[in-house]
Chain A
């Protein structure tokens, strides 16, 4: 089975890389992008795990709940 974890900085947390990327989009000559937030996506190949164990991995290691939120999807 495959699981995908998407981790994003919380709305209140400064994302300077996102701000810099939004500016670069402006320099590309395309307007209309109001803001950019950069997170990460992590794919796990899993076997015989409970949902709770997966959430524990997300909570305790893959994301830092002080600054990030995660979303867990089971892909197949």
Chain B
């Protein structure tokens, strides 16, 4: 599987993504600079976390106009997998690949800690190694992660099973206390209707080594790998 990790000015989880991906067998991962206009030959495109363009104007608002985003559009249209992590999720929302948007955390705090996610859907390329209701522990590090959308959008997300992860407590309950940023419906990650584009605020690439505190992020990357192998059978 060939993975492109996009690099915007201000991306800072790009190399973490490369290291995490390269720990899987049969994965080639490369950085692709935002000024490039092609992402040909890649099966997966990852928009990593960071502060692209210093978060000027709004998080992700300027990155969405980078030349590489046209290639992301093409790849998305071809059904390739697109994964936006943290700032990458914000960019995908700004660019209209995913509905809704991410605003300032409810308590104005930058939250940098481990959270627990409940897997809501496993019939996706990104979660097929998980069981529904499985709990994953992943790190977050963001100041603007409060998922916000109008009622109609939220209803559509529910109806089309697009909410993949929600913040929960260690019992899997969706409590306000377990919601680190005030996200509507405790939403931590969503996908598009075609299920090939996903955005999530937590960082799976930072949870791929036991030495670094956990390996639950591997479920997401392994799901993508297995999906790719299956789709070629």
In chain B between 117 and 152, which residues have their CB closer than 8 angstroms to a CB of chain A? 146, 148-150
**A17 CA / B108 CA spacing, docked (Å):** 7
Are A62 and B108 in contact, with the CB atoms below 8 A?
Answer: no
Say which residue of A13, A20, A62 sits within 8 Å of B103 (CB atoms): A13
**A76 CA / B104 CA spacing, docked (Å):** 34
Q: Is B199 an interface residue (CB 8 A)?
A: no
Task: Give the distance to chain B from A3, nearest Cβ to Cβ, in Å.
Answer: 16
Q: Is B179 an interface residue (CB 8 A)?
A: no
Say which residue of B103, B105, B108, B182 sits within 8 Å of A67 (CB atoms): B103
Give B99-118 as 1s and 0s: 1 = Cβ < 8 Å from A's Cβ atoms: 01101111110000000000
Are B61 and A64 in contact, with the CB atoms below 8 A?
Answer: yes
Q: Is A16 an interface residue (CB 8 A)?
A: yes
Q: Is B65 an interface residue (CB 8 A)?
A: yes
When A61-B65, A66-B149 are in contact, do A16 and B57 touch as well, CB less than 8 Å? Answer: no
B-side interface residues, number (CB < 8 Å): 20
Say which residue of B93, B100, B146 sits within 8 Å of A14 (CB atoms): B146
Task: Give the distance to chain B from A69, nearest Cβ to Cβ, in Å.
Answer: 13
Are A14 and B148 in contact, with the CB atoms below 8 A?
Answer: yes
In chain A between 13 and 67, which residues have their CB closer than 8 angstroms to a CB of chain B? 13-14, 16-17, 20, 61-62, 64, 66-67
Nearest A residue (CB) for B93: A66
Task: Give the distance to chain B from A65, nearest Cβ to Cβ, in Å.
Answer: 10
Task: Give the distance to chain B from A38, nearest Cβ to Cβ, in Å.
Answer: 10
Besides A61-B65, A66-B149, 4 other A-B contacts (C-beta < 8 A): A13-B148, A17-B108, A64-B94, A66-B101
A interface residues, Cβ below 8 angstroms from B = 12-14, 16-17, 20, 61-62, 64, 66-67
What are the 7 A-B residue pairs with the smallest beta carbon separation, nearest first?
A: A66-B101, A16-B108, A16-B104, A16-B106, A67-B101, A64-B101, A64-B58
